[in-house]
Amino acid sequence: MEEKDIKAPFPREPWKRLLEDSADAPPETTDARIRANARKALVPHGARWWLHAGLAASFVVAVVLAQTMFGGRGKGVGGDSLIGESKIDVSVVDRSKAISPPPPVAAAEPLRREAARPEGEAAFVDDDYEAEDAAGEVAEVEATGSRIGGPERERRAASESPEEQYDAAPAPAEESKELSNVVVTGSRAEAAAEESTPSAGFIASVDHASWRQTPEEWYARIVALRKAGNNTEADAELKRFEAAWPDWMKKNGKPRP
């Protein structure tokens, strides 16, 4: 095969002129579409920042909505809505002042629980209380300014640091009573964390039970529990009662229920 034949076996132009005369051309819409595609292809992917930004914004909105919808649930009766948005102080408070009317916010929780709880569920409350008491720690979460405690506690609190009281092991009746009166309040986050376990706030609500505020009512309650055959609960209450009022039964001539 000759080089000339390989490159140009016959002249192109005459044939091309014939073809040009007979053929049509692409429609203008096709031209526009192809040119548009050519320009669109040149747009760098990085320039489509709004896609990523939109995705991120959607995610943030979804998280916020989820927190709004489910954030307040699962915190039990009288959660943050009762405590309010005020900052919670960390302090040691004396239960001896519990005789004074509790503040409205702190008092509302136990009252609501007592009202909503059937009588048969009292054991549940006391079991929690007992578990906490056995550990030698009684914590209480309350709103700012709430102070509850007994007279013995007030005297001891003046000579003991909060840490010492909090870390003290269970001991003789006097000491045990005082420790049971120690109230440790924490931050709002700590209070929220404690709500998943037998919580300080929950125990505090038990301590506000009206029948524990006077030894007569407390004693009557123990007697009632014993009569009802709820000996476990009665024993626990009696133990607690004796710790709080060690000589009351002796002084008043009451038999040990």
Partner 1 sequence: MGVGDADAQLMLRYAAGEARAFDELYAAHRNGLWRFIRRSVRDAAATDDVFQECWSRVIANRERYRPEARFATWLYRIAHNCCMDHWRKSGRRDRRESMDDDAIAAAADDSTAEPLDAVLAGEASERLAAALERLPQDQCAAFLLYVEGGLSVAEIGEATGVNPETAKSRLRYAVARLKQALGDDAPD
Query: Of residues 127-156, which lie at the interface with partner 1 (CB under 8 A)?
Result: none
Give the interface segment with partner 1, choosing from 35-43, 134-142, 184-192, 221-229 (CB under 8 A). Answer: 35-43
Stretch that binds partner 1, among 30-38, 92-100, 167-175, 177-185 (CB under 8 A): 30-38
Q: Is 44 helix (H, G, I), strand (E, B) or coil?
A: coil
What x/- string results for residues 8 through 27 when contact with partner 1 is judged by CB under 8 A?
Answer: xxxxx-xxx-xxxxxxxxxx
Cβ pair 86, 144 in contact under 8 A: yes
Nearer to partner 1, 20 or 119 (CB): 20
Rounded CA-CA distance 48/86 in Å is 45
Q: Would you call 184 helix, strand, or coil by DSSP?
A: strand
Q: Smaller CB distance to partner 1: residue 25 or 189?
A: 25
Closer of 11 and 118 to partner 1 (Cβ)? 11
Listed in sequence order, the residues at least 6 apart from 234 whose beta carbon sits closer than 8 Å to its beta carbon are 222, 225, 226, 257
- Alpha-carbon distance 246 to 150, whole Å? 14
Nearer to partner 1, 5 or 119 (CB): 5
Stated as kind and residue range, the H or E segment containing 189 is helix 188-194
- Residues at the site binding partner 1, with contacts judged by CB under 8 A: 1, 5-12, 14-16, 18-27, 30-31, 33-35, 37-39, 41-42
